[in-house]
Amino acid sequence: MREIEELSANIHLLILKSELTEAAQEIEKELRKLQKKRAGLRELNLKMQLLEELLEESKCPVCGKMISELDTPSIEVELGRLRSEYPQISEKLKNIEDKYYKYHNLHSQILQKLKEIERLSTGNIYELRIKLHEKEEEITNLQKQIRRISETLKNAGISLVSQTENKISELQYEIGKLEGEAGRLSGDIEKLENEKKRLEKKLKLYMSKGSELSEVEAKIEFVDNIKAALEEYLEYMIEKRRKEIIETSSEIFLKLTNKKEEYVGFEFSSQNDYKFQIVCKDGSRPDMDTISYGEMEVVALSFILGLNKYSQIKAPIITDTLFGRLSPYVQENIAELFSEMDNQIILLVLKDERPGGKTEIDSIAPIFKHKICKEFIIQRNQINRESSIFEGKVLVGD
Amino acid sequence: MPWAGSKPKIYTGSKDKYEELVKDYKEYFPTYSVLFQIAAAVGIVLDQKKELTKREELVNTYSIDKDGTLELLMRIKYPDLSPEERLEELEKYAEAGIEVIYEETVSSGHFDFRKYAEL
């Protein structure tokens, strides 16, 4: 094709060859005319120049022969005639010369072009086009053959061509369907790929969350372990404290009781409750339901005081007519113990209402008198059936 | 440059014919420039010119006459016209030429330039 393109670029020159030749011929004619004209004008110009010189120098510029005065008028007449007949001959001659050279130049250019055109090889383009033509003819012949064969087959009743064509159509339809299916599947694959990517992202997220979960589980396990250890430690501490409390309470009990020779202390009756059990020196344990109320109160007070020792808060201690059932020895011991304590102690005691009547702690009051802060008297109005309380001085003062 | 200083573009009123011939008969007319040259040459040898009914841009002027033959011929034919005017005359020759070429090529399926070269 490129070869054809290159060769085709000169086709117009081949077409124009006759036109150029004709133009060249026309110009040649023109040149010949101009040449003739130019020669005539040159001759006339030369004649006029000779006549002018003859008149100026009075002798022939060619042979040097002198002219007579009789010849001069006739020469002047001739020169005048020529001047009037051919005015501006020099300019005309110059114009003719210019025109001649212009045409001559064009003629040369045309000849040059014609030479170039002569050199152009059109053989190749003919060959190429002949080949192309041959191929086209071959194609046409083949198409004719196909049509003929097809016709023959049809005529023979074997619609093989038709069948084949049908088969081709079916296959094309099938291919179309499959292509459609392939397109659809490609779409599905793409969707699935996207879904896979999305799930992978999600999985990654879950995995990271899973690791967080494991971390939390580990922390929970750690906390559980700590909790178990703390519980164990707490149990140990409770047990230890329980022992300490009971030991301290026992010590207090031994200080307070009047049976120092008989008892070694008391304990909790079992691991799970806080019922008290007095322990004798011989290891026996008296039935707690049969001991006196006074002893029971001493045991209870001992425990409260023992507990109080280990308490972070110094809770106030309130006793309600505690001393009435106790022996004077035990009363004194309690009074001494109370006088040594830092807790606020509120003692509810009975007083003989009769004039000059005493309270139940009058005998031990001197032991903790210096620690009594305030005294109150609760008086019952039996008519109105109401009680009133007021500050008084019973133990301190008098 | 043969047409230096002239108008830079070549115009035609038959662009559709150029398009069809270059598209369908590439073996004869590989480019618009080649087809314009041939059309102008055919118009000149048949001495037929046609006015452009519309002016559609076809090719650049420098591409249609690289060796200056068309310019030389137009200078000989129209010595008194300006280069621009000569180009317009050349377009008219090509406009007539393309019609002849189109008729022949489309009806026969071939274009044989030799019959114009032999005129």
Helix, strand, coil shares of chain A, percent, nearest 5, are 70, 10, 25
Nearest CB neighbour to B76, from listed A1, A4, A106: A106
Give dist(CA A8, CA B28) in Å, integer: 7
Record: contact B34-A16, CB cut-off 8 A: no
Contacts of B113 in chain A (CB under 8 A): 11, 14-15
A21 to chain B: nearest residue by CA? B73
Query: Residue A1 above 60 pLDDT?
Result: no
Residue B20, domain extent: 10-117
Q: Which of B30, B37, B118 sits opposite A12 (nearest CB)?
A: B37
CB-CB under 8 Å, B117 with A18? yes
Distance CA A49, CA B104 (A): 65
Structure tokens at A333: 């011991």
Give the residue with greater pLDDT, A125 vs A369.
Answer: A369
Query: Distance between CA B88 and CA B3 in Å, rounded?
Result: 12
Residue at B104 is within a domain: yes
Listed range (A119-123, A201-205, A214-218, A350-354) with the worst mean pLDDT: A119-123
Q: Is residue B1 domain-resident?
A: no
Q: Quick: pLDDT tens for B79-119.
A: 999 999 999 999 999 999 999 999 999 999 988 888 888 65
Q: What gap in Å lies between CA B84 and CA A115, rounded to an integer?
A: 28
pTM metric for this prediction:
0.46
Bridge partners (DSSP) listed for residue A70: none
Question: Which chain B residues touch A116 with a CB distance below 8 Å?
Answer: 67
Q: Would residue B55 count as lying in a domain? A: yes
What is the C-alpha separation between A90 and A46, in angstroms, rounded?
10
Maximum mean pLDDT: which of A64-73, A162-171, A213-222, B63-72: B63-72
- Predicted interface score ipTM higher than 0.85: yes
| A109 with B72: Cβ contact below 8 A | yes
Whether residue B80 is contained in a domain is answered as: yes
A278 backbone dihedrals φ, ψ, rounded to 5°: -75, 135
Beta-bridge partners for A278: A266
**A163 vs A197: CA distance, rounded Å:** 49
Residue B68 located in a structural domain: yes
> For position B13, what pLDDT does the model report?
97
CA distance A28 to B71: 20
Q: Which domains does chain A have, with CATH numbers?
A: 2-120 (1.10.287), 314-398 (no CATH)
Q: Which residues, listed in sequence order, are joined to residue A345 by a DSSP beta bridge?
A: A317
- Sequence-distant (6+) residues with CB within 8 A of A53 are A61
Q: Would you call B76 and A132 a contact, using CB atoms and an 8 Å cutoff?
A: no
- Please tell me the distance from the alpha carbon of residue A242 to that of residue A271, in angstroms, as a whole number: 10
The answer to whether residue B5 is domain-embedded is: no
> Is the residue at B51 inside a domain?
yes
